[in-house]
Structure 1
Amino acid sequence: MLRRILTAILITAILLPFLFFGVLSVGQAWFYPSILPQRFTLSNWQELLVGQSELQLSLLLSLLLGMGVAILATLAGFVISKEIARAKYKNRWLLLAYWPFVLSPVVLAILVQRFFLLTGMSGEVIGVLLGQFILAFPFAVIFFQSFWTYEILQMEQQSQTLGASAVYTLQQVLLPLAKPLLLICFFQTFLISWFEYGLTQFIGLGKIKTLTILVFKYVNEANIFHAALASLLLMLPPALLLWLNKKFVFRGI
């Protein structure tokens, strides 16, 4: 009985934000002290689905940046983490990988801003992508260190000793073993990009309006209905990735 009650409380806590933002996203003219908006309309959703609205473009941009950062960080992190695992001064390299997380994203953006200004990437999508990659790549390197155990490295060496090429060993030995971790790292680095605000705002100069930037913009403008819709869209991918992790990834580990 207690377990059912706790489960019901947990499910309610998870679904309540979605329900709350869902109601506000179709609301209109909400005045104190009313609990619910006075009127309801689908105009906000129609604006998202039809035409090229600011919200629609921000959603597509966030998805593009998230996918790009996740793919680049996962692949680069997998390769570089292997080299670090074999390196003589492994711990020193890993210590460097933790450096971006010691600083806040805004402070980190200030430190690297001169590079983006000199290269002309400030206020550009490629600049924001590279800035988010600075955060996601070290995470991927640290994440994959647990995969490159002594047994895995010996297995790779034994495969090549038996005559297998490096490409064959990668495709037939390493990738099948690392597949669950690759998926998890992809999901995690996607979320790093998806929720990133400080560095994106600073390097993007306010021109690159991702969904996270747009939520804060709507909140500052007291546009609660658009803010609710943007927040709901911001919450959906993590919920979907959590379901995919549970259904496909963790079941295979």
Structure 2
Amino acid sequence: MKPKSKHIFLVFLTILIFFPFIFLVLLSMAPEWRFPNILPQYFGPDNWQTILRSETGLLHSFLISLLISLSVGIVSTLFGFLISRSLYYHPQRKWLNLFTYFPYILAPVVFGACLSFFFLKMGIFGNITGVIIAQFLIAFPYALIFFSSFWNKKIKSYEDLVATLGGNQWQKYSRVLFPLAKSMLLICFFQTFLISWFEYGLTSIIGVGKVQTLTIKVFLFIKEANYYYGAISSCLLIFPPVLLLYINKKYVFKNRV
């Protein structure tokens, strides 16, 4: 391929990739966009000001989604790292690792329906606590699978060295294991955060419409054919992943190079 043709192809590919995001921003800033107009007659923050001041609860849904995703991401990453170590040293670790794939055999809606009876008995059906626990049951096995590649004979030798030098459990984790797994911990947090952030099926079943996360709001606006408000909620929905992607690229992969 000639350099000029390659450059044109790359420009076209870049426009094609970013077009959906640009279209969402344009749609969110257009009070109306009627056929056959190629572009709306007005661009402005009117839709944003209206929806943030109204009773649609979009800002509240954003904060709820942030709370749920941060809780699921932090807890899943921490427990996944600690328990994956116990799995590595267990004599039946191959069978135990196999069980971690069980939540992914069922669709999220089916998995949520299976959990709904037990959550109803425990009194956490239809509230934020129940949604966090339900999403944790999806994100935690992923963290176990993710950290299974971290533990090996080399890490075991570091742990033995700390014990030989008289180090305690806190020193082993704080000065050896956590620094060695820093990049993997960040990546796992990003991944589990995104699993929770974009989760819809499980949240709709366990939340019963009472826990309206940002993903739930997007589908509600689309069902109501309110595409302008749907575009605003979609912009809010993609903002944290873009921010995490920037942090991931700047701090995680940059340190690996």
Q: TM-score range by the shorter chain?
A: over 0.9
1:73-112 mapped onto 2 (5 Å cutoff) = 73-112=76-115
Partner of 1:140: 143
Structure 2 counterpart SS, 1:27: coil
Q: Write the letter of the residue equivalent to 2:238.
A: M
Letter of the aligned partner of 1:206 in structure 2? G
State the secondary structure of the residue aligned to 2:35.
Answer: coil
Query: Matched residues in 2 for 1:38 and 1:227: separation?
Result: 20
> Following TM superposition, by how much is the alpha carbon of 1:133 offset from its aligned partner in structure 2, in angstroms?
0.5
Partner of 2:200: 197
Q: Is the Cα contact below 8 Å between 1:31 and 1:38 reproduced in 2? A: no
Unaligned runs of at least 5 residues, structure 2: none
In structure 1, how many angstroms separate the alpha carbons of the residues matched to 2:96 and 2:12? 44
Aligned to 1:151: 154
Instruction: Judge conservation of contact 2:52–2:58 (CA < 8 Å) in 1.
Output: no
Residue pair 2:30, 2:40 contacting (<8 A) in 1 also? yes
The one of 218, 223, 228 aligned to 1:215? 218
Compute the displacement of 1:59 (Å): 0.7
Counterpart amino acid of residue 141 in structure 1: L
Q: 1:180 aligns with which of 165, 180, 183?
A: 183
State yes or no: 1:118 paired with 2:128.
Answer: no
1:13 offset after TM fit, Å? 2.9
Task: Measure, in 2, the Cα distance between the counterparts of 1:252 and 1:40.
Answer: 41
Partner of 1:64: 67
Q: Say how many residue pairs are matched.
A: 253
Q: 2 CA distance for matches of 1:38 and 1:123?
A: 43
Please say if 1:22 is aligned against 2:1: no
- Answer yes or no: is the 8 Å Cα contact 2:131–2:207 preserved in 1: yes
Residues 77-121 of structure 1: per-residue CA shift (max 9 Å, x gap): 000100001110011111111111111100111111111110111
Mean Cα deviation higher: 12-21 or 46-55: 46-55
TM-score using structure 2 length: 0.93
- Please tell me whether the aligned partners of residues 31 and 46 of structure 2 are also in contact (alpha carbons under 8 angstroms): no
Q: Is the 8 A contact 1:47 1:53 kept in 2?
A: no
State yes or no: 1:130 paired with 2:136: no
The alignment status of 1:250 with 2:253, answered yes or no, reads yes
Cα distance, 1:149 vs. partner?
Answer: 1.2
User: 1:31: Cα distance to partner?
Assistant: 2.5
TM-score by structure 1 length? 0.95
* 1:44 pairs with 2:47: yes
Residue-by-residue CA offset, 1:49-75 (whole Å, 9 max, x unaligned): 557751101111111111010000000
Larger mean Cα displacement after TM superposition, 106-115 or 22-31: 22-31
Which residue of 2 is the match for residue 164 of structure 1? 167
Alignment RMSD = 1.6
Shift of 1:39: 4.1
Residue 239 of structure 2 aligns with which residue? 236
Distance 1:136 1:239 in 2: 20
Whether the aligned pair in 2 keeps the contact of 1:106 and 1:198 (CA below 8 Å) is yes
Q: Measure, in 2, the Cα distance between the counterparts of 1:161 and 1:137.
A: 32
Inter-partner Cα distance in structure 2 for 1:64 and 1:44? 25
